[in-house]
Amino acid sequence: MSELQGRRLLLCVGGGIAAYKACEVARLFAKAGAELRCAMTPAAQRFVAPLTFQALTGRAPATDLFDAAQELAAGHIALADSAEFVIVAPTTADLLARLRGGFADDVVTATLLAIPPARWLLAPAMNEKMWASPAVQENLATLIARGANIVGPGVGEMAERAHVGPGRMAEASEIVAAACALVARLPETPRIVDALATGSVAAAPHLIEQRAWDLEGVPVLVTAGPTREHLDPVRFLSNPSTGRMGFALAQAARDRGARVLLVAGATEIEPPAGVEFVRAESAAEMASVVDVRAGEMRAIVMAAAVSDQRPAERASHKVKKPDGDELLRLVRTPDILAGLGARYAQATPRPLLVGFAAETEHLEEHAREKLARKQLDLIVANDVSAAGQGFAAKDNRVVVLGRDGSRVELGGPKLAVADGIWDLVASRLSRE
Ligand code: C5P
């Protein structure tokens, strides 16, 4: 766990019986070399004494929002500013509700309010019947949509011995492993920038190059790859898309802090880690996933090569070869993007819509027509007839046209092109 060495973590302890397990979490973080501070709700202090955390971390935990001495020494805002990442263990049903509501009536909630949810790792713990309640599930879904990360709960025996089910707090080692994976994704810490400013670290370019972190917690949807429209279980209509451009977009968004839902057709390459991945084989399947999830998103980038048509019939068994030629009747698939354009044309707030136009001639003219017809914010025009770009290639060269009349050329590896596209999306989102 040396990844946690020197990372500034805050452990917030909620008031549930699982608070005793938070002692082990604190011990493991301290052992991994993290600079750990703790904060406790009043209820947590009824389960475990603050002195226990002081002994484990070497610093007195923050316990009282209204204690003049504590606020003077390091107030809750200073505590929030100093933390790169927060672990809330246990997250009780009550704490979940107060975090959703934006309450700030104790040192834990007040501090968390000053830290973006994408930097929270919540470890819920409660009785399985409480866990199953619509209120808890709704609070959890809202916090996830705001960017919060969740570990557990596990299934197992509850404190009330007769009860078994989901609600048991994740084990301390699982919480630390999850925190470790999430902290590894954070951009370079200001600690390094501070050190550079004071001249105590040699100015290596890779240390001062700050990655854009402008999509922190922003929910985005990316589609990728080809769809398959089956005639029967072994034959389909498709296209040569590999999904590389869409996967690069998902990866680039993830690296800027976004919460990414990646919906992909039949691709062979590995999807990037750390994104929610949903497989959708046909245009109809892709349409249903996108339609259901679109409402949660702030940006939707449709890089998938969606088949425009599908066979009118799909046989459930392999169709026997006819003796001679045969005609295949095709019907239109739903235009997913045009559907979103129409659905959000008059709506506010609406997700920013980005389409792709793969063209072999009159690139910009055709792309501009699609931008207007599908009611998009941006369209990425891609000449797929040019050698070394487009389908399957590692590099790409595109022109991005905006409904505001903007025109930007991007070229290079697909990941760099993806970053250029997110630059345009992020600057538009920040103006909303
Ligand atoms: O009209 P055309 O297929 O060139 O439009 C391409 C754009 O529209 C891409 O962003 C693609 O993902 C999207 N599209 C769609 N549904 C379809 C066809 C295309 O969303 N049925």
DSSP code per residue over 260-308: EEEEE-S--SPPPTTSEEEE--SHHHHHHHHHHHGGG-SEEEE--B--S
**Helix axis angle, 414-430 relative to 244-255, nearest 10°?**
50
Span from the CA of 353 to the centroid of ligand 1 (angstroms): 12
User: With a 6 A CB cut-off, is 229 part of the ligand 1 pocket?
Assistant: no
- What is the model's pLDDT at position 288? 95
- What is the model's pLDDT at position 79? 86
Q: Is the pLDDT of residue 415 over 50?
A: yes
- What is the model's pLDDT at position 384? 85
3-state secondary structure 235-265: EEECCCCCCHHHHHHHHHHHHCCCEEEEEEC
Q: How confident is the model at residue 63 (pLDDT cuts 50, 70, 90)?
A: very high
pTM of the complete model beyond 0.85: no
Q: Which fold has domain 219-314+327-430?
A: Rossmann fold (3.40.50)
- What is the model's pLDDT at position 74? 59
Residue found by looking up tokens 């941006």 in the block: 378
14-28, 341-355, 375-389, 413-427: which range is least confident on average? Answer: 375-389
148-195: pLDDT as tens digits: 888 888 776 666 656 666 788 999 999 998 898 888 877 544 333 333
Tokens linked to 299? 């940006």
The count of other CB atoms within 10 Å of the CB of residue 424 is 19
Span from the CA of 374 to the centroid of ligand 1 (angstroms): 9
User: With a 6 A CB cut-off, is 227 part of the ligand 1 pocket?
Assistant: no
User: How far apart, in whole angstroms, are the C-alpha atoms of residue 84 and residue 160?
Assistant: 36
284-319: pLDDT as tens digits: 999 999 999 999 999 999 999 999 999 999 999 998
14-58: pLDDT as tens digits: 999 999 999 999 999 999 999 999 999 999 999 999 999 999 999
Q: Is the pLDDT of residue 111 over 80?
A: yes
How does 151-179 read in b/e, with b if 16+ C-beta sit within 10 Å?
bbbeeeebeeeeeeeebbbbbbeebbebb
Tokens linked to 278? 């949903």
Query: Please, are residues 130 and 92 in contact by the beta-carbon 8 Å criterion?
Result: no
Tokens linked to 256? 């800027």
User: With a 6 A CB cut-off, is 308 part of the ligand 1 pocket?
Assistant: yes
Q: What is the largest CA-CA distance in the chain?
A: 91
Check if CATH label 1.50.10.10 holds for domain 2-203: no
Q: Which atom of ligand 1 is nearest to the CA of 333?
A: 21
The count of other CB atoms within 10 Å of the CB of residue 125 is 29
- Burial status of residue 123 (CB atoms within 10 A of its CB: 0-12, 13-18, 19 or more): buried
Tokens linked to 378? 């941006």
What is the secondary structure of 156-172 as a DSSP string?
A: EE-SSTT-EEEEEPPPH
- The residue whose CB lies within 8 Å of the most ligand 1 atoms, and thus the one to mutate among 288, 290, 302, 374, is 302
- What is the model's pLDDT at position 206? 31
356-389: pLDDT as tens digits: 999 999 999 999 999 999 999 999 999 888 776 6
Residue 296 phi, psi (nearest 5): -85, -10
Residue predicted with more confidence, 389 or 114: 114
Q: Which atom of ligand 1 is nearest to the CA of 354?
A: 10
User: How far apart, in whole angstroms, are the C-alpha atoms of residue 125 and residue 131?
Assistant: 8
Closest of 392, 391, 400, 402 to residue 418, by C-alpha: 400
Q: Is the peptide bond before 90 cis (omega within 30 degrees of 0)?
A: yes
Residue whose CA is at the smallest distance from ligand 1 atom 19: 306
Domain segments of the chain as ranges: 2-203, 219-314+327-430
199-231: pLDDT as tens digits: 433 333 333 233 467 898 899 999 999 999 999
- What is the model's pLDDT at position 274? 79
Q: How far is CA 74 from the centre of its chain?
A: 32
Helix (H, G, I), strand (E, B) or coil at 90: strand
The one-letter amino acid code at 355 reads: G
232-258: pLDDT as tens digits: 999 999 999 999 999 999 999 988 889
User: How far apart, in whole angstroms, are the C-alpha atoms of residue 308 and residue 312?
Assistant: 12
- What is the model's pLDDT at position 158? 60
User: With a 6 A CB cut-off, is 356 part of the ligand 1 pocket?
Assistant: yes
User: How far apart, in whole angstroms, are the C-alpha atoms of residue 58 and residue 52?
Assistant: 10
User: How far apart, in whole angstroms, are the C-alpha atoms of residue 222 and residue 265?
Assistant: 11
What is the secondary structure of 136-199 as a DSSP string?
A: HHHHHHHHHHTT-EE--PEEEE-SSTT-EEEEEPPPHHHHHHHHHHHHHHSPPPHHHHHHHHTT
The count of other CB atoms within 10 Å of the CB of residue 224 is 27
Measuring CA to CA, how many Å separate 144 from each of 43, 147, 149, 218?
Answer: 24, 5, 6, 11
**Active-site residue list:** 239
User: With a 6 A CB cut-off, is 243 part of the ligand 1 pocket?
Assistant: no
User: With a 6 A CB cut-off, is 294 part of the ligand 1 pocket?
Assistant: no
In this prediction, residues 62-81 reach a mean pLDDT of 76
User: How far apart, in whole angstroms, are the C-alpha atoms of residue 263 and residue 276?
Assistant: 8
Q: How far is CA 57 from the centre of its chain?
A: 31
- The residue whose CB lies within 8 Å of the most ligand 1 atoms, and thus the one to mutate among 356, 377, 384, is 356
Span from the CA of 417 to the centroid of ligand 1 (angstroms): 19
Residues for the chain: how many in total? Answer: 432
Mean pLDDT of the chain: 87
User: How far apart, in whole angstroms, are the C-alpha atoms of residue 340 and residue 294?
Assistant: 8
